[in-house]
Every structure is written in structure tokens, then in C-alpha cells.
Amino acid sequence: MLAAGVPVRRWVGGVRGFVLPGVSMPIFIFGLLLLFVFYYLLPIHGLAIFPKPGSWTPFTKNPLEWAHDLILPWITLMLITAATYSRLTRSSLLETLGEDYIRTARAKGLSERRVIYRHALRSSLTPLVTQFAIDTAGVLGGAIVTETIFGLPGLGLAVIQAIQVQNLPVVIGVVLVASFFVVAANIVVDAVYAILDPRVRVS
């Protein structure tokens, strides 16, 4: 148990300092900090890595420029749930490593790497899949804030402008689109359950 837990603890310790700021501060605060560093401080010193807020290249025009313009928004959204998933992975994996079938696999002489990645990790992914379905709505809500901060022409900015002018059809349309993604995520999660856990059967 201890030997198996050491690689997990090292992995968690290495990423904890990167993901914890995403939980320790609201998403709009982290987005504004990124704006301050990459759009103000670095350009002052001649390091203009990213374009100005609001500049956006369509995917059909230049996919590389499109991805480059969205790096900071992606990082902002990623840190919303990164710490949650790292902690959940750690606790679930350590719990799975104490199961009887894991001790049986070790007793058969399987390598520790195969025990962890082939047997333990697959079973411990079930809580993460469940959390993914729950977080879908949260990510969509965070995208609205992120798009507003970075001035991106997406659903977030559209719904904010629609609320300001009381354009109810646009607001209702955005809510329906968000609801569709939440329902679709739950359907995908139910299908993935059957793949991760052989005991689950799709009826």
C-alpha cells in the first residue's frame, strides 16, 4: 500500500501548487490576473506574447492563431476544476489500491505499474466520470465569465449583452443550448460507466 501510494503522492505534490490557485480564488479574479500579467506587465517589457483582449481569429481563417488566442481563456477555465479532479483521483486511487483484487494481482506477481494503470486506475475513474457530469454546468457558467473578461465573441458575451437589453429570446436560446450540453454529458457518462465497470450493464 505504501509503495503503491508513493508515486500517487509525488504526482499530487507536483501538481498541487499549480491547481490550488484555481480553487483559492474566483474565476474572474484569476482571469483578471492573467490579463494584468500577459496584457500589461509583459508588453511593458517588450514581451507581447498574446494579442490584446477582444482580438480573436476565427478557426476557419487560421487554426493556429485561433488556438493561440484562446490559450489564456482555456487556462482560466481549466483551473476551475483541476484541483477537484486531482484530489478526487488521489483519494479514489488510494482507496482502490486497498481492495482485495489489487492484493490478489500483486500476489500473482504483476508489476506495480500494471497493477496501478491496468487494474486500479480503471476502477478509480468512476467517481471522476460522475464529477464530470456535475461540473458540465459549472464549466458553462465559467465560460460566460471568461468570455466576458477576455472579450471573446461567444455564448457568454451574447447572453450578457442580451440580459442588459432584456432580449429574452436570446437568453432562452442560450439556456436551451446549455441544457442540451448538460443532458448530453450525462448520457455520455452513462455510456462510459459500462466501459469502465464491467458490472454495469446498459439496459
**Exposure on the CB side of residue 149, measured as CA atoms within 13 A:** 24
Q: How would residue 1 be classed by pLDDT, with cut points 50, 70 and 90?
A: very low
Please check whether residue 126 is in contact with residue 193, taking contact to mean a CB–CB distance below 8 angstroms: yes
pLDDT at site 154: 78
The pLDDT, as a whole number, for residue 11 is: 58
CATH match of 2-196 with 3.40.50.1370: no
For 150-198, what is each residue's pLDDT tens digit? 888 777 778 888 888 989 898 898 888 888 888 888 888 888 877 776 6
Please list, in sequence order, all residues whose beta carbon lies within 8 angstroms of the beta carbon of residue 46, skipping any fewer than 6 positions away. Answer: none
* For the chain, percent of residues with pLDDT exceeding 70: 80
10-41 pLDDT, tens digit each: 555 556 666 666 667 777 888 888 888 888 88
State pLDDT tens for residues 105-122.
888 888 888 888 877 887
Single pTM value for the model: 0.67
* Per-residue confidence (pLDDT) for residue 4, from 0 to 100: 45
Provide mean pLDDT across the span 137-144: 72
Distance of CA 23 to the CA centre of its chain: 12
Is residue 52 very low, low, confident or very high in pLDDT (cuts 50, 70, 90)? low
The model's confidence at residue 90, banded by pLDDT at 50, 70 and 90, is: confident
Any idea where the domains of the chain sit in the sequence? 2-196
Residue-averaged pLDDT of the chain: 77
Which tens digits make up the pLDDT trace of 60-80? 888 888 888 888 888 888 876
**Residue 56 has what pLDDT?**
75
